[in-house]
């Protein structure tokens, strides 16, 4: 079994973040978690989304506190899902 790297891409719904996340995800060696204040209009396959406002320090702290221990539960709770 191959070990997957994890990439955390801020601004995944933007012009720069979206292609970075997509390129990493299709490579097959990266588990991609995308952070974005807005949900992208087009789904990004194999990218886990967490809607986090990076300007809101409390929201960022909550995400960071939950990221390691309950990553998938937190993403689902926030309304994101694998593949959007």
Report, as an integer, the average pLDDT of 55-78.
73
Contact (CB, 8 A) for 76 and 51: no
**How far, rounded to the nearest angstrom, does the alpha carbon of residue 76 sit from its chain's CA centroid?**
11
Instruction: Say what the pTM is.
Output: 0.72
Q: What is the pLDDT of residue 22?
A: 94
Report, as an integer, the average pLDDT of 59-79.
68
Q: Which residue has the higher pLDDT, 3 or 62?
A: 62
Q: What is the pLDDT of residue 1?
A: 53
Return the H-helix or E-strand segment holding 43.
none
Q: What is the pLDDT of residue 32?
A: 92
Q: What is the pLDDT of residue 68?
A: 64
């Amino acid at each position: 079994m191959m070990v997957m790297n994890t990439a955390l891409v801020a601004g995944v719904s933007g012009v720069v973040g979206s292609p970075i996340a997509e390129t990493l995800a299709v490579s097959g060696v990266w588990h991609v978690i995308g952070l974005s204040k807005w949900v992208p209009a087009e789904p990004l396959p194999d990218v886990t989304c967490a809607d986090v406002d990076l300007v809101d320090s409390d929201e960022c702290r909550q995400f960071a506190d939950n990221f390691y221990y309950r990553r998938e539960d937190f993403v689902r709770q926030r309304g994101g899902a694998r593949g959007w």
